[in-house]
Chain A
Amino acid sequence: MDMQSVMTLLLTVGKILLIVVPLILTVAYYTYAERKVIGYMQARMGPNRVGPWGLLQPFADVFKLLFKEIVLPSSANKFLFYLAPVLSLAPAFAAWAVVPFDDWLVLADIDASLLYVLALTSMGVYGVIVAGWASNSKYAFIGALRSAAQIVSYEIAMGFALVGVIIVAGSLNLREIVLAQQGGIFDWFWLPLLPLFLVYFISGVAETNRAPFDVAEGESEIVAGFHVEYAGAAFAVFFLAEYANMILISALTALMFAGGWLSPFENVPLLENTFIAQPHLLWFLGKMFFFMFFFLWFRATFPRYRYDQIMRLGWKVFIPITIVWLIAAAVFVLLGWVEQGV
């Protein structure tokens, strides 16, 4: 190996770390925020003992989980049992490779980045299925089957919603999708694609198995579903994957429907030349956190759907909506009501 390829390799690893380390920290503090936010919504305090305002709680949790024993259930498939958490974590992280944080801040600016994201987020379900199968537990098995059916159905609605974005943006590249939304808050895609935006975000919640769609781990029915037999670090990896996926969905929603790093005050008179009208990474992060908050809000508010009701919602409501609105979006573009492309 010559010097140059070593340098390239090191540089790439460095870039990956630059994404993964903040991501893991975000996951850690997302769990903290979840407990605090839901706590305040439920008239209680949330964690407040470890460190000032409980800020060190995520680390306490991580260390607790790391030091716990990983119990292998009897007659479980050892190889698959340990493989499953990795299968669910890897796609959750790998998808971040194509997420543009800013106009230039992206690890891999590939042309079909949206397809790549779709492909990887669908991979996550294998971790769940394998975990449910390998655990040799009835609860886990039911959880895995539920999860497989659910993710497959919502993938379709999600995919259709994204086709709408592609039609309007005229590109499969996430960076170009964002750039196609220039012109202020009413030029972002959430407005022309409002039904698709809602379907996408709700499907995203379903896709990540979060309340009110958390039947795959539905605590009161099948205890913890697919990861019921996992403890310690193996459980922590599942947990990490779930939260990384939630953040990913929020980031993608921000990119595709809410203008990514673009400022909502573009082209607003008086503000035009000020700092807040400029595109910035902070806008992207702010939008991402805004959508992340919804995940927590849903969890504190809604009862859980039943399994068949989730399927009905996916197949009979979301998919028809997306199909109708796809045609509508195409007509908009054709008539020139929505400007296509960059």
Chain B
Amino acid sequence: MAEIRNYTMNFGPQHPAAHGVLRLILELDGETVVRADPHVGLLHRATEKLAESKPFNQSIGYMDRLDYVSMMCNEHAYVRAIENLLGVEVPERAQYIRTLFDEITRLLNHLMWIGANALDLGAMTVFLYAFREREQLMDCYEAVSGARMHATYYRPGGVYRDLPEVMPQIAESRWRKGKDLKRSNEWREGSLLDFIDQFAADFDSKVDDYETLLTDNRIWKQRTVGIGAVSPERALQMGFTGPMLRGSGVEWDLRKHQPYAKYADVDFDIVVGLNGDCYDRYLVRVEEMRQSNRIIKQCVNWLRANQGPVMPKNFKIVPPSREEMKSDMEATIHHFKLFTEGFCVPEGETYAAVEAPKGEFGCYLISDGANKPFRVHLRAPGFAHLSAMNEMINGHMLGDVPAIIGTQDIVFGEVDR
């Protein structure tokens, strides 16, 4: 009898469903996957090492580029680690703004995920619907920071600046004019908060739109129910966090269990699944979008009612205003020191984690008292999820591989760092 060998196949690093640069070596027995060996590191940019050679405040921008679909949550973990060591108090308004933007980020990430996961399974339309809403949220990023993705908006002590009073409008162009332009600018007449408020009021119906295309779709269910099931015990053992863990039915959410920013003061529910398969994780993330929207509404209401500073008046870590700088010698010195040397952080080590959209994103920071970190370690949720790849895929078919990569919500920026 002829010797029958399994078929070994490279899935990636150049592959439309590999979500970036995942190189997955698949061993196929017919269509069934016997072994999946993920190779990582193709997007390694040495973020942790780079952070060691820069003043603390200059590495915030690198954090955006880790998980490049949930930018501000990454900043939040890093900034919180610095704040822990510095011992600065973040003003309440800044905390609400951070809560608001963490949730906007969660929506950004989950919208990207729902689109990409659906696209991996062949449903194109959801992707474009999700991007329509993502566009609006990116405009919020742009309104506060000037950048649509890599915002660098969170700073040690608070946020870069208060929310703008005016939401920028879309300019007239050859492609967008007349009624079309008017409709696009309809929500943009007032402040940023008005815009977010209108968006939030409308967003639930948009989630309904996605759900009509997927939730009860027979093909969608056939493709996701029972695929990549993980038991709650195994999920905990493998270090799952976020929707991956909650999808398996473990009620664990840092926002509730170790509240930071203003999560203790807002009202929301933890969403958990039952079976830990792709379908449950899908349902968890969809419901999380609705919960995020709930938090956004509460933050908008609070921010409208209460004014206040968004940065402490501690010029050792916060730059003085440009105006003061022109007339006040002290302010000029502070400015010069901050933008050349940065600030020194007391000796010590800390771990600060946030519930990023993908799971627990943590920053472990050691300072030796200098103006640069001695060591930064970033705990990326995707790394732990990816290491479960073989276990999740094993025994499923080739067609399920994109479903499982999609459900893990992998972004290589954070896995490879």
State the A residues within 8 Å of B (CB): 38, 41-44, 138-139, 142, 211-212, 214-215, 218-223, 299-309
Contact present for A212 and B31 (CB under 8 Å): no
| A-B contact list, 6 entries, CB within 8 Å | A142-B31, A220-B16, A220-B122, A303-B123, A303-B223, A307-B397
Contact of B223 among A142, A222, A306 (CB under 8 A): A306
Contact present for A221 and B220 (CB under 8 Å): no
Measured CA separation A220–B402 after assembly (Å): 6
Contact of A142 among B15, B120, B129, B398 (CB under 8 A): B398
Within 8 A of A (CB), among B337-364: none
**B378 part of interface (Cβ distance < 8 Å):** no
**Residues of A close to B219: CB separation below 8 A:** 212, 302-305, 309
Measured CA separation A72–B181 after assembly (Å): 49
Contact of A42 among B16, B31, B121, B125 (CB under 8 A): B125
Contact present for A308 and B132 (CB under 8 Å): no
**B222 part of interface (Cβ distance < 8 Å):** yes
Measured CA separation A302–B132 after assembly (Å): 19
**Residues of B close to A142: CB separation below 8 A:** 7, 9, 31, 398
**Residues of A close to B214: CB separation below 8 A:** 303
Measured CA separation A43–B398 after assembly (Å): 31
Measured CA separation A304–B402 after assembly (Å): 11
Contact present for A304 and B129 (CB under 8 Å): no
Measured CA separation A38–B39 after assembly (Å): 36
With contacts A43-B129, A220-B16 taken as known, whether A309 is within 8 angstroms of B222 at the C-beta atoms is: yes
With contacts A43-B128, A303-B219, A307-B31 taken as known, whether A221 is within 8 angstroms of B398 at the C-beta atoms is: yes
Measured CA separation A308–B222 after assembly (Å): 11
Measured CA separation A308–B226 after assembly (Å): 15
Contact present for A138 and B9 (CB under 8 Å): yes
User: Which 3 pairs from chain A and chain B are nearest by CB?
Assistant: A304-B122, A220-B17, A306-B399
Count of chain B residues near A, Cβ 8 A: 31
Contact present for A214 and B128 (CB under 8 Å): no
Measured CA separation A41–B132 after assembly (Å): 13
**B401 part of interface (Cβ distance < 8 Å):** yes
Measured CA separation A314–B398 after assembly (Å): 19
**Residues of B close to A306: CB separation below 8 A:** 222-223, 397, 399-400
**B184 part of interface (Cβ distance < 8 Å):** no
Contact present for B124 and A300 (CB under 8 Å): yes
Contact present for A218 and B397 (CB under 8 Å): no
Contact of B7 among A42, A138, A214, A218 (CB under 8 A): A138
- Least CB distance from A298 to B in Å reads 11
**Residues of B close to A299: CB separation below 8 A:** 124
**B43 part of interface (Cβ distance < 8 Å):** no
Measured CA separation A42–B213 after assembly (Å): 12
Measured CA separation A119–B24 after assembly (Å): 41
Known: A301-B125, A309-B219. 9 other contacts (CB 8 A): A42-B124, A212-B122, A219-B122, A220-B16, A303-B123, A304-B122, A304-B123, A304-B223, A306-B223
Contact of A220 among B10, B120, B132, B217 (CB under 8 A): B120
- Least CB distance from B152 to A in Å reads 31
Contact of A302 among B123, B128, B398, B399 (CB under 8 A): B123
**Residues of A close to B411: CB separation below 8 A:** none
Chain B CB within 10 Å, residue with most, of A42, A300, A301, A306: A306
**Residues of B close to A214: CB separation below 8 A:** 122
Contact present for A308 and B9 (CB under 8 Å): no
Measured CA separation A44–B180 after assembly (Å): 13
Closest-by-CB residue of B relative to A309 is B222
Measured CA separation A218–B120 after assembly (Å): 9
**B118 part of interface (Cβ distance < 8 Å):** yes
Contact present for B121 and A304 (CB under 8 Å): yes
Contact present for A222 and B398 (CB under 8 Å): yes
**Residues of B close to A305: CB separation below 8 A:** 219, 222-223
- Least CB distance from B135 to A in Å reads 11
**B300 part of interface (Cβ distance < 8 Å):** no
Closest-by-CB residue of A relative to B10 is A138
**Residues of B close to A212: CB separation below 8 A:** 122, 219
With contacts A43-B128, A220-B119 taken as known, whether A307 is within 8 angstroms of B15 at the C-beta atoms is: no
Contact of A308 among B10, B122, B217, B397 (CB under 8 A): B397
Measured CA separation A298–B132 after assembly (Å): 21
- Least CB distance from A149 to B in Å reads 10
Contact of B16 among A219, A301, A302 (CB under 8 A): A219
